[in-house]
């Protein structure tokens, strides 16, 4: 697990390290410059260490510019040709910047107020960094657009200028980097779209921020890596199928059989002991063929559907409801009954969420843990917030919704967020090949399976989203992003789990 900071959190960590731990800001600046130099050299001088680079470093008068000036000095001292463009568009400059500028001029680095050439091996952005709060305009926009038009290896210091470090939104225009070297912690704006698209390769380097101060600030957001697969529940040699839970899957309607099979098989692949599918009678034959491991109970009318809902509550340890059930009377009756009466964990997905959006008080009446898995459109219907506004601030929307209804929310997008209303997990696994029918049903089944095998609602949702993305990445590797389908993601789940077992993470 690794923290992901926003602008305010990172600035507070920086302040505490300097003011309370006594680490001089100029020392952090030097360390930052050294890390960027190392990353440039490892990419451009790994074969020929004597290669002389022609470098442009563009700076403004803040501490990000000070980092840039320190880097320019280090490049110059190792024999590279260095030109510094100091935009000089702000009236107040930091003391550290002034100090670095004086040194740069004294040792003979060329400093001008404009870009004097168009042929560089390296173009470095040291203009704004994480502190930017307003749209880029005027001379700064002109300079960034000129930089974007240059050739060479593009490097951003900490955050590409013009990217909101907290949201990833583009503030007017932004520097398009081939690599961003960011310090201490990764930043939200380098993970969320569209910021991540123009950040290039993101390298997180330690420059000496005190871990105690990071823990004290305790950033709201974090992400997982493969080490976190250790949270997968283990299996006992003396266990039986009852040990790993009973999952009720209320899914599928007339002409919508795929959703139930995707969800049920995904749950089984996650280790669930027994799955019972509750579905429309029209799906009886295909369920028996597609997933013979599952028990089946069918309905043909509203009364029978209500009986299915009662049976599901009495029989199961967890309930997944929604994939492909439609919005008819039978579906509405089952959703309202389960959401208001169930005491076991309920995973509400797809059509269940659309039904809830028309009667949101249902969600506020839940008795047991609830996980909701909306995509952006479904969240828009649930909240009344426009889709573009959700996409601009997906993390806060997810967190606020979870807090309002006391649920766990997995808000699905290119960067899915999961929240319990207090902190937020940002998912970084997965790929665009997962934009395919049925992928959401697979995710719901994965999460439900983790609940059945012993994880709490929040942990199951976070780990489920991460595993879903890893399975999608494996499916893309095998099939290609254009050709992969939901069944490929289901098939790849076993590879993820097997890999975790092999690595000793389970």
> Which of 318, 311, 307 shows the shortest CA–CA distance to 343?
318
Q: Average pLDDT of 239-255?
A: 94
For residue 255, is pLDDT > 90?
Answer: no
pLDDT grade for 504, boundaries at 50, 70 and 90: low
- Tens digits of residue pLDDT in 167-212: 999 999 999 999 999 999 999 999 999 999 999 999 999 999 988 9
Question: Under a CB-based contact definition with an 8 Å cutoff, are residues 213 and 21 in contact?
Answer: yes
Strand locations in 206-293, DSSP E? 221-223, 246-250, 274-280
For residue 1, is pLDDT > 60?
Answer: yes
pLDDT for position 210: 86
pLDDT grade for 47, boundaries at 50, 70 and 90: confident
- Tens digits of residue pLDDT in 370-397: 999 999 999 999 999 999 999 999 999 9
pLDDT for position 439: 98
b/e per residue, 142-163, with b = 16+ CB within 10 A? ebbeebbeeebbbbbbbbbbbb
> Which of 76, 73, 90, 100 shows the shortest CA–CA distance to 132?
90
For residue 503, is pLDDT > 80?
Answer: no
Report how far residue 164's alpha carbon sits from residue 183's, in angstroms, rounded to the nearest whole number.
16
Question: Under a CB-based contact definition with an 8 Å cutoff, are residues 505 and 226 in contact?
Answer: yes
What letter does residue 101 receive in the DSSP assignment? H
Average model confidence (pLDDT) for the chain?
96
Question: Under a CB-based contact definition with an 8 Å cutoff, are residues 4 and 187 in contact?
Answer: yes
For residue 95, is pLDDT > 60?
Answer: yes
Which is it for the CA torsion 500, 3, 461, 369, positive or negative? Answer: positive
Which amino acids are annotated as binding site for (6S)-NADPHX, given as ranges?
63-67, 129-135, 158, 259, 324, 375, 441
Q: Please name the helix (run of DSSP H) or strand (run of DSSP E) that holds residue 16, with its range, or none.
A: helix 7-19
- Tens digits of residue pLDDT in 328-375: 999 999 999 999 999 999 999 999 999 999 999 999 999 999 999 999
Q: Tokens in use for 74?
A: 């280090």
CA angle 333, 451, 299 (to 5 degrees): 30
Q: Which residue has the tokens 């169930």?
A: 342
For residue 101, is pLDDT > 90?
Answer: yes
Q: Please name the helix (run of DSSP H) or strand (run of DSSP E) that holds residue 460, with its range, or none.
A: helix 457-479
Return the percent helix, strand and coil in the chain, to nearest 5: 50, 15, 35
pLDDT for position 506: 55
pLDDT for position 330: 97
Q: Average pLDDT of 1-7?
A: 97
Which amino acids are annotated as binding site, given as ranges?
63-67, 125, 129-135, 158, 161, 259, 324, 375, 412-416, 440-441
Report how far residue 12's alpha carbon sits from residue 21's, in angstroms, rounded to the nearest whole number.
13
Model pTM?
Answer: 0.95
Domains and CATH numbers, the chain: 2-223 (3.40.50.10260), 239-502 (3.40.1190.20)
Which amino acids are annotated as binding site for AMP, given as ranges?
412-416, 440
Half-sphere exposure of 288 (CA within 13 A, CB side): 6
pLDDT for position 505: 55
Q: Please name the helix (run of DSSP H) or strand (run of DSSP E) that holds residue 90, with its range, or none.
A: none
Which amino acids are annotated as binding site for K(+), given as ranges?
64, 125, 161
Region of 135 (left: φ > 0; alpha: ψ -120 to 50; beta: rest) is: beta
């Amino acid at each position: 697990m690794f923290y992901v900071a926003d602008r305010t959190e990172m600035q507070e960590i920086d302040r505490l390290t300097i003011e309370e731990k006594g680490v001089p800001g100029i020392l952090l600046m030097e360390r930052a410059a050294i890390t960027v130099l190392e990353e440039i050299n490892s990419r451009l001088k790994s074969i020929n260490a004597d290669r002389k680079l022609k470098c442009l470093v563009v700076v403004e008068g803040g501490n990000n510019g000070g980092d840039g000036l320190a880097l320019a000095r280090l490049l110059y001292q190792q024999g590279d040709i260095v030109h510094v463009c100091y935009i000089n568009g702000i009236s107040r400059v930091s003391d550290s910047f002034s100090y670095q500028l004086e040194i740069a001029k004294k040792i003979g680095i060329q400093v001008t107020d404009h870009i004097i050439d168009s042929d560089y091996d390296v173009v470095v952005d040291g203009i704004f960094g994480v502190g930017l709060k307003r749209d880029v305009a005027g001379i700064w926009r002109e300079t960034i657009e000129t930089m974007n038009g240059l050739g060479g290896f593009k490097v951003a210091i900490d955050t590409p200028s013009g990217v909101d470090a907290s949201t990833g939104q583009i503030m007017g225009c932004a520097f398009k980097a081939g690599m961003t070297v960011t310090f201490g912690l990764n930043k939200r704006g380098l993970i969320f779209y569209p910021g991540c698209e123009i950040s290039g390769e993101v390298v997180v380097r330690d420059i000496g921020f005190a871990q105690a101060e990071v823990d004290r600030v305790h950033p709201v957001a974090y992400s997982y890596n493969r080490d976190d697969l250790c949270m997968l529940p283990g299996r006992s040699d003396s266990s039986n199928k009852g040990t790993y839970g009973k999952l009720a899957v209320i899914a599928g309607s007339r002409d919508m059989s795929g959703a139930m099979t995707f969800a049920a098989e995904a749950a089984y692949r996650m280790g669930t002991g027994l799955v019972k599918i509750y579905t429309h009678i029209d799906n009886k034959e295909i369920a028996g063929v597609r997933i013979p491991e599952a028990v089946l109970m069918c309905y043909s009318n509203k009364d029978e559907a209500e009986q299915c809902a009662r049976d599901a509550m009495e029989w199961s340890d967890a309930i997944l409801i929604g994939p492909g059930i439609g919005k008819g009377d039978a579906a509405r009756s089952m959703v309202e009954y389960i959401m208001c009466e169930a005491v076991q964990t309920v995973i509400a997905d797809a059509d269940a969420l659309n039904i809830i959006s028309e009667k949101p008080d249902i969600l506020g009446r839940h008795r047991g843990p609830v996980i909701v898995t909306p995509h952006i459109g479904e969240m828009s219907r649930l909240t009344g917030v426009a889709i573009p506004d959700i996409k601009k601030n997906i993390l806060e929307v997810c967190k606020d919704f979870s807090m309002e209804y006391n649920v766990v929310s997995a808000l699905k997008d290119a960067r899915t967020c999961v929240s319990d209303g207090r902190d937020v997990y940002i998912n970084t696994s997965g790929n665009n090949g997962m934009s395919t029918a049925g992928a959401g049903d697979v995710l719901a089944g994965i999460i439900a399976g983790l609940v059945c095998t012993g994880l709490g609602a929040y942990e199951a949702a976070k780990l489920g989203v991460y595993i879903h993305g890893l399975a999608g990445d494996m499916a893309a590797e095998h099939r290609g992003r254009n050709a992969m389908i939901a069944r490929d993601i289901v098939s790849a789940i076993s590879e993820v789990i097997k890999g975790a077992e092999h690595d000793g993470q389970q």
